[in-house]
C-alpha cells in the first residue's frame, strides 16, 4: 500500500459573507489551526473575491491557505469584469476552483473552458481544484461513470500532477440539498476516477487528491472521509460556520485508518 496523499479540506464560501463576518470566520479557523494537534491536513478557504486580498494578507503567516472560486482562462487584456489567474496568484492565493457545477450551469462553462482555466491556474503555480460530477438525471440513467470520465478527460490538462491539481467529485444533485450518495456509490466513483488518473498520469495519479463535495457536514464527514480514495472534502454550506467546518477538519482520519490499494501497471 502506498502512502495516501495528505488530505485536504477546502471551504467554498460561494457568494456569501461581507467583510466583518468573512474576516471573523477566517480568523477563527486560523486560530484553531495554530493550536491543532492531529493528523496532517491541508486546509483552504475560498472566500468571495471581494474578501480574498484582505484575507490573504492577514492569513499569510498562518497555515490556513486561501483559494479563489473561479478565474478567467485569459491572461490579460480587454475583458471587462474578468480576473486572471495571475491576478489571483498575486493576491497570495494557493489554489483556485475551476469548473464548479454552478459555473457550468450559470455561465455555460464547457469542459474545454474548464481545461483552459485549469491551465491558466497551473501556469501561475497555484493548484487547480477541478470539479466534475453528474446531474441527477444522468445518475438515474446509469450514466454517472460515463459522464465523469468525459469531464475528467476533457477538463484536466495534460501537465497536471499531484503538485498542481486536485479533483473534486461533486454530484450536482447532492450540492446544497442535504442528500449524499451512499458510501458505496462514492467509493465506486472515486475508484473510477483513481483508475483514470492512473491511466493519465501513471503513479503520480495515485498522489492526486480526489475530494468529495456535496452536502458534507459535521455529521457525515467521519464516514465519508474514510471511503477509499476520498482524500478530503470540498465543503459549501458547512464551511460558513467555524464550528461545523472545524468538526469536519477534525474528522480527517489518521493515515493508518486510510485504505487505498494501489494497482501495479501491467
Ligand atoms: P454544499 O456543501 O453546500 O452542498 O456545497 C458543496 C459545494 O458545492 C462545494 O463546492
Segment 109-142, tens digit of pLDDT: 999 999 999 999 999 999 999 999 999 999 999 9
Predicted local distance difference test score (pLDDT) of residue 262: 72
Report yes or no: 9 and 45 within 8 Å, Cβ to Cβ: no
- For residue 254, tell me if it sits in a domain: no
pTM above 0.75, yes or no: yes
- For residue 266, tell me if it sits in a domain: no
Residue-wise pLDDT tens digits, 177-205: 999 999 999 999 999 999 999 999 999 99
Q: Return d(Cα 146, Cα 176) in angstroms, integer.
A: 24
- For residue 119, tell me if it sits in a domain: yes
Which three cell numbers, joined as nine digits, stand for 187? 467509493
Ligand 1 atom at minimum distance from 102 CA: 8
Q: Return d(Cα 105, Cα 4) in angstroms, integer.
A: 33
Active site includes 100? yes
What are the E-state strand segments in 81-231? Answer: 95-98, 127-132, 165-169, 209-213
- For residue 264, tell me if it sits in a domain: no
Pocket mutation for ligand 1, best pick of 236, 238, 244, 245 (most atoms within 8 Å of C-beta): 236
Instruction: Tell how strand 165-169 and strand 42-46 pair up.
Output: unpaired
Atom 2 of ligand 1 has which residue's CA nearest to it? 236
Query: Which bin fits 108, alpha (ψ -120 to 50), beta or left (φ > 0)?
Result: left
Predicted local distance difference test score (pLDDT) of residue 255: 87
- Share above pLDDT 70 across residues of the chain, in percent, rounded to a whole number: 98
Q: Is the model's pLDDT at 1 over the cut of 50?
A: no
Question: Which residue segment(s) compose the domain that 216 sits in?
Answer: 8-33+40-244
- For residue 171, tell me if it sits in a domain: yes
Average pLDDT for residues 62-83, to the nearest whole number?
Answer: 97
Residue whose cell numbers read 475508484: 191
Pocket mutation for ligand 1, best pick of 214, 232, 244, 248 (most atoms within 8 Å of C-beta): 214
Q: Which of 260, 110, 266 is nearest to 199 (CA)?
A: 266
**Ligand 1 centroid to residue 140 C-alpha, Å:** 21
Who lines ligand 1 at CB under 6 A?
Answer: 12, 100, 170, 175-176, 213-216, 234-238
CA dihedral 254, 256, 259, 263 (to 10 degrees): 120
Catalytic residue chosen out of the listed positions 102, 119, 170, 218? 170
Average pLDDT of the chain? 96
Ligand 1 atom at minimum distance from 234 CA: 9
Ligand 1 atom at minimum distance from 97 CA: 10
Give every CB contact of residue 253 below 8 A, 6+ residues apart in sequence.
Answer: 7, 39, 225, 226
Burial class (CB in 10 A: 0-12, 13-18, 19+), 7: buried
Q: Return d(Cα 136, Cα 236) in angstroms, integer.
A: 19
Residue whose cell numbers read 450559470: 106
Q: Return d(Cα 20, Cα 85) in angstroms, integer.
A: 26
- For residue 249, tell me if it sits in a domain: no
Residue-wise pLDDT tens digits, 207-232: 999 999 999 999 999 999 999 999 99
- For residue 153, tell me if it sits in a domain: yes
Predicted local distance difference test score (pLDDT) of residue 256: 85
The sign of the CA dihedral 171, 172, 173, 179 is: positive
Residue 38's pLDDT band (cuts 50, 70, 90):
confident
Domain count, the chain: 1
Q: Is the model's pLDDT at 266 over the cut of 70?
A: no
Pocket mutation for ligand 1, best pick of 17, 96, 175 (most atoms within 8 Å of C-beta): 175
Average pLDDT for residues 242-252, to the nearest whole number?
Answer: 98
Residue 258's pLDDT band (cuts 50, 70, 90):
confident
Q: Mark 189-228 as b/e (b = at least 16 C-beta within 10 Å).
A: bbbbbbebbbebbeeebbbbbbbbbbbbbbebbeebbebe
Domain of 98, CATH number, reads 3.20.20.70
What are the E-state strand segments in the chain? Answer: 8-12, 42-46, 65-68, 95-98, 127-132, 165-169, 209-213, 232-235
Residue-wise pLDDT tens digits, 39-69: 899 999 999 999 999 999 999 999 999 999 9
Residue-wise pLDDT tens digits, 149-168: 999 999 999 999 999 999 99
Which alpha helices (DSSP H) does 38-143 contain, by range?
Answer: 49-59, 85-91, 101-107, 111-123, 136-140
Active site includes 170? yes
Q: What is the 3-state secondary structure (H, E, C) of 143-169?
A: CHHHHHHHHHHHHCCCCCCCCCEEEEE
Atom 7 of ligand 1 has which residue's CA nearest to it? 236
- For residue 175, tell me if it sits in a domain: yes
The sign of the CA dihedral 165, 236, 110, 225 is: positive
Amino acid at each position: 500500500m502506498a502512502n495516501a496523499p495528505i488530505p485536504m479540506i477546502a471551504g467554498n464560501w460561494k457568494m456569501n459573507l461581507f467583510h466583518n463576518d468573512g474576516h471573523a470566520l477566517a480568523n477563527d479557523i486560523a486560530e484553531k489551526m495554530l493550536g491543532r494537534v492531529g493528523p496532517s491536513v491541508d486546509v483552504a478557504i475560498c472566500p468571495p473575491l471581494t474578501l480574498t486580498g484582505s484575507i490573504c494578507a492577514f492569513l499569510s503567516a498562518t497555515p490556513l491557505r486561501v483559494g479563489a472560486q473561479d478565474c478567467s482562462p485569459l491572461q490579460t487584456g480587454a475583458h471587462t469584469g474578468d480576473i486572471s489567474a495571475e491576478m489571483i496568484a498575486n493576491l497570495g492565493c494557493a489554489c483556485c476552483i475551476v469548473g464548479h457545477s454552478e459555473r457550468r450551469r450559470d455561465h455555460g462553462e464547457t469542459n474545454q473552458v474548464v481545461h483552459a482555466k485549469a491551465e491558466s491556474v497551473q501556469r501561475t503555480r497555484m493548484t487547480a481544484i477541478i470539479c466534475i460530477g453528474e446531474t441527477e438525471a444522468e445518475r438515474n440513467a446509469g450514466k454517472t461513470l460515463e459522464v465523469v470520465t468525459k469531464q475528467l478527460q476533457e477538463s484536466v490538462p495534460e501537465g497536471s500532477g499531484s503538485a498542481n491539481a486536485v479533483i473534486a467529485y461533486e454530484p450536482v444533485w447532492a450540492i446544497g440539498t442535504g442528500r449524499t450518495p451512499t458510501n458505496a456509490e462514492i467509493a465506486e466513483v472515486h475508484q473510477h476516477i483513481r483508475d483514470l488518473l492512473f491511466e493519465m498520469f501513471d503513479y503520480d495519479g495515485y498522489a492526486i487528491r480526489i475530494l468529495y463535495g456535496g452536502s458534507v457536514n459535521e455529521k457525515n464527514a467521519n464516514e465519508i472521509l474514510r471511503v477509499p480514495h476520498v482524500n478530503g472534502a470540498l465543503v459549501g454550506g458547512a464551511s460558513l460556520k467555524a464550528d461545523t467546518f472545524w468538526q469536519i477538519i477534525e474528522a480527517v482520519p489518521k493515515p493508518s485508518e486510510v485504505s487505498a490499494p494501489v494497482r501495479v501497471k501491467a
